[in-house]
Amino acid sequence: MPKRVVAEDRREALARTAIRVIDDAGLDGARLRDVAALADATTGAVTHWFGSKDELLDAAMRVIVDDALAGVDAAMAGTGDAVALVEGAAELLPLDDERRQQWRVQIAFWGRAATDARARALHQGYYRDIVARVTALLSALQAAGTIAATDPAVLADAMVAAVDGLGTRATLEPDAWPEGRQRATLAALLTPLLTPSERPADARA
Amino acid sequence: MPKRVVAEDRREALARTAIRVIDDAGLDGARLRDVAALADATTGAVTHWFGSKDELLDAAMRVIVDDALAGVDAAMAGTGDAVALVEGAAELLPLDDERRQQWRVQIAFWGRAATDARARALHQGYYRDIVARVTALLSALQAAGTIAATDPAVLADAMVAAVDGLGTRATLEPDAWPEGRQRATLAALLTPLLTPSERPADARA
Amino acid sequence: MPKRVVAEDRREALARTAIRVIDDAGLDGARLRDVAALADATTGAVTHWFGSKDELLDAAMRVIVDDALAGVDAAMAGTGDAVALVEGAAELLPLDDERRQQWRVQIAFWGRAATDARARALHQGYYRDIVARVTALLSALQAAGTIAATDPAVLADAMVAAVDGLGTRATLEPDAWPEGRQRATLAALLTPLLTPSERPADARA
Amino acid sequence: MPKRVVAEDRREALARTAIRVIDDAGLDGARLRDVAALADATTGAVTHWFGSKDELLDAAMRVIVDDALAGVDAAMAGTGDAVALVEGAAELLPLDDERRQQWRVQIAFWGRAATDARARALHQGYYRDIVARVTALLSALQAAGTIAATDPAVLADAMVAAVDGLGTRATLEPDAWPEGRQRATLAALLTPLLTPSERPADARA
DNA sequence: TATGAATGAGCATTCATTCAT
DNA sequence: AATGAATGAATGCTCATTCAT
């Protein structure tokens, strides 16, 4: 049966399977044997690669965040001005089934982190990564003068909050939030903030 | 009907006790036994007042939301202009220990709703209540001309998203988000949106 | 179903059932569900009375030791001289099926204590109880001048060792050690030690 | 047949490693995996040399007993009189860390044998070897007239019981039984029995 | 209204064993 | 002779729920 298995591949595949199970059954409803079954493996195999259920869950969270970071890069890179930036950010919202699944699981992990210190520590690292990336992007755009000159760290916090808050609501009310409404609301929220103006703090010159 | 009132008191007291246990142990780590113990009761008493664990949890969620609604009323009523409105909204953020606890449990409930259709239905009702209240307030202010004339429904969605997103982050990174940073970030996000402009505001060009 | 159950009775009954299971299956082969089944209960009931398997096992050990202590009292009390004392001590050996079972389980517990510090601490307490009781008895007999005047603490240690060593061997070779051989060997070992001599006994030349 | 020798070396090395693991984790806490790791091997290698865990455990027991037999030979051979014989026997007690480890594991094996017929059969063979060796030695000394003329088989049983009982207690209470106390107690127990006397059954003429 | 002993299905976890390489 | 991934049965433990009192 052996054959040098690439450990990371195996682990990531199982973690991705776990995400699907979590989406179906919830974070605590997710059973190891369901993950195993869906991955065509046995519980023993899962615990072989992950010492415990927690370890598997952490790996699943890491996959979610890595995908989100890749999404940030893909969506915002090459962005030129405020309008394009907002459009890029909107790509992070739960616009389609795939992203809705990511959001559902993401929010489930927030729920875990809210009341669990260890999980919270993980999330703080994730936020650091994301904010750093967004801040760097904003600084570049400010240097080019295409967005408002507000402190980029504040802008980044604001953008992250806008996406998180809107994504949460759209995830909890999927039927009421088709793609258009999500995009429009995000634009309403971010455009006045990002658009450069002659006179500072004016929503639009 | 005093009996009925007493019954409601007992239920609410148990629900509030449940919130404390959820905050300690997480939504799924919360055991009926612990709720009972903390309320100086027995598990039998808890199941006497609540047919099942889910019913108790739902009641706890309802308490959280009712408190939040009362907070909206208290904080925003009597508000006169955009600046005051943002200040009122900030009162809903996790600014102190009491509100941080409410947020932690709130987020735990989101996590449950994300992957559970029944819980999600409850939340949709809660959002309806909150948005209706905020929209009514915004309409009144717009009639007075003290805030931007954007569609009040859009403004309400935006404000809810801003508070939810910022509250989530501040809850997950409590040490990094003292009161001042939360207020400043919320103001940065909402002020440009709410401040009335000479020319009728159009959120999107 | 309820009715104030006398906790200690229930616990002791389960502990005694555990002893039978341990004798059948060994200390680690003993499964909670077998104990439950033999006691006409469920595993849940067992864990209701004992927080964990270890707690149940400790209680079983305690029962074994308490029975042994009662045996010491019953067998040695009223003993008049060296010969009678040895005969009394012999009653502690695995002379019949009941005592053989106690010895088998006792030795299983030694095996656990040998490599487990927590279990070892329990046994040290048990030895203290037993040695104290034997020493007191020996002192009384020495006061009456019917046994050798050697330091009673040394005599007690020697008697305990003789019984433990012989009991162990007789337990591991039950067919080779009928009652008579056990009694004879114990007498051969203890009589020269306990019999008073004209000149004050010196255990060591 | 060098191959065979190498094989035996490998097996013995693994068995000795198993003893260390048993001492750490107990007989049932000892995992094949840990034995393998401590021996810088894999579980597959262990099962290659030993068909099953039981086989490995039996081999470990055999090593313990062979060491003890070698100890009997080393300690008692060349012994001239009762005093020297007792001093030799004392060398079998858990006087130092190395022997304490052997005793801990030995007692763990007794615990297994107490409730397991197959393991018990092994031990009966071991007792046969040991008693035969001791009996032969005692007969030689009796022929020389340097020890009591009691039936050597009885003397051997008595000596084995004394060492086993004392060793057990000293193993379970290591801190209370420094070398001196062990030697003194063994001497107290065996000297009256072994010392030749004009008048039989006199502790010392 | 309240008690708390009992239930029992369900879970993660453990680990000896197997076997393709 | 050795590897180590995979198996899968087995077990202790959890805990919401029930119900006689």
pLDDT of chain A along its 205 residues, tens only? 334 456 678 899 999 999 999 999 999 899 999 999 999 999 999 999 998 999 999 999 999 999 988 988 887 777 778 899 999 999 999 999 999 999 999 999 999 999 999 999 999 999 999 999 999 999 999 998 899 999 999 999 999 999 999 999 999 999 999 999 999 999 999 999 998 875 444 444 3
pLDDT of res. B94: 97
Taking the C-alpha atoms of residue A111 and residue A57, their distance in angstroms, rounded to an integer, is 13
Among the ranges given (A121-125, C169-173, D160-164), the one the predictor scored with the smallest mean pLDDT: A121-125
Closest to A108 (Cβ–Cβ): which among B23, B114, B191?
B114
Q: Pick from C81, C110, C88, C128: which is nearest to C171 by CA?
A: C110
**Confidence at D35, pLDDT banded by 50, 70, 90:** very high
For strand E, give the nucleotides within 7 A of a protein CB.
1-21
Nearest-CA distance from D45 to chain C in Å?
26
- Put simply, whether A184 touches B (Cβ < 8 Å) is yes
Taking the C-alpha atoms of residue D197 and residue D147, their distance in angstroms, rounded to an integer, is 9
Q: pLDDT per residue over C37-58, tens digit each?
A: 999 999 999 999 998 999 999 9
pLDDT of res. B76: 77
pLDDT of res. D4: 53
DSSP string for A146-187: -S--S-HHHHHHHHHHHHHHHHHHHHHSGGG--HHHHHHHHH
Please say if the pLDDT value at position B12 is more than 50.
Answer: yes
pLDDT of res. A198: 53
DSSP string for A94-151: --SHHHHHHHHHHHHHHHHHHH-HHHHHHHHHHHHHHHHHHHHHHHHHHHTT-S--S-
Assign 3-state DSSP to chain A and report helix, strand, coil percentages, each to 5. 75, 0, 25
Is A158's CB within 8 Å of B127's CB? no
3-state secondary structure of D43: helix
Taking the C-alpha atoms of residue B22 and residue B25, their distance in angstroms, rounded to an integer, is 5
> At which residue do the structure tokens 């007993």 appear?
D65
- Put simply, whether C53 touches D (Cβ < 8 Å) is no
**Confidence at C72, pLDDT banded by 50, 70, 90:** confident
Q: Return the amino acid letter for B75.
A: A
- Put simply, whether D105 touches C (Cβ < 8 Å) is yes
Taking the C-alpha atoms of residue D193 and residue D205, their distance in angstroms, rounded to an integer, is 12
> At which residue do the structure tokens 């240690």 appear?
C157
Domains, chain B, ordered by start: 52-196 (1.10.357.10)
Give the pair of three-digit tokens for residue C162.
């003789």
**Confidence at C81, pLDDT banded by 50, 70, 90:** confident
Q: Are D193 and D96 in contact (CB under 8 A)?
A: no
**Confidence at C127, pLDDT banded by 50, 70, 90:** very high
Closest residue by C-alpha to C1' distance, nucleotide F16: B53
- Put simply, whether B157 touches A (Cβ < 8 Å) is yes
Taking the C-alpha atoms of residue A184 and residue A190, their distance in angstroms, rounded to an integer, is 10
Average pLDDT, chain B: 89
Taking the CA of residue C43 and the C1' sugar atom of nucleotide E8, their distance in angstroms comes to: 9
Give the pair of three-digit tokens for residue B27.
């939504």
Q: Are D184 and D159 in contact (CB under 8 A)?
A: no
Is A115's CB within 8 Å of B104's CB? yes
C7: region left, alpha or beta (phi > 0 left; psi from -120 to 50 alpha): alpha
For chain B, give me the number of helices (H) and strands (E)? 9, 0
pLDDT of res. C86: 93
Give the pair of three-digit tokens for residue D201.
């059954």
- Put simply, whether C74 touches D (Cβ < 8 Å) is no
What is the rounded (10 degree) CA torsion for B190, B195, B197, B202? Answer: 40
C151: region left, alpha or beta (phi > 0 left; psi from -120 to 50 alpha): beta
Closest residue by C-alpha to C1' distance, nucleotide F18: B44
Q: Are C164 and D169 in contact (CB under 8 A)?
A: yes
Q: Which residues contact B69 (CB under 8 A, 6 or more apart)?
A: B129, B130, B133
pLDDT of res. A6: 64
Closest residue by C-alpha to C1' distance, nucleotide F3: D44
Among the ranges given (A18-32, B71-85, C152-166, D126-140), the one the predictor scored with the smallest mean pLDDT: B71-85
Question: Measuring from the CA of residue D53 to each C1', which nucleotide is nearest?
Answer: E16
Taking the C-alpha atoms of residue C42 and residue D138, their distance in angstroms, rounded to an integer, is 56
Percent of chain D exceeding pLDDT 70 equals 92
The set of chains that have 3 or more CB pairs under 8 A with B is A
Please say if the pLDDT value at position C161 is more than 70.
Answer: yes
Percent of chain B exceeding pLDDT 90 equals 77
**What is the average per-residue pLDDT within B18-45?**
93
Q: Are C155 and C138 in contact (CB under 8 A)?
A: yes
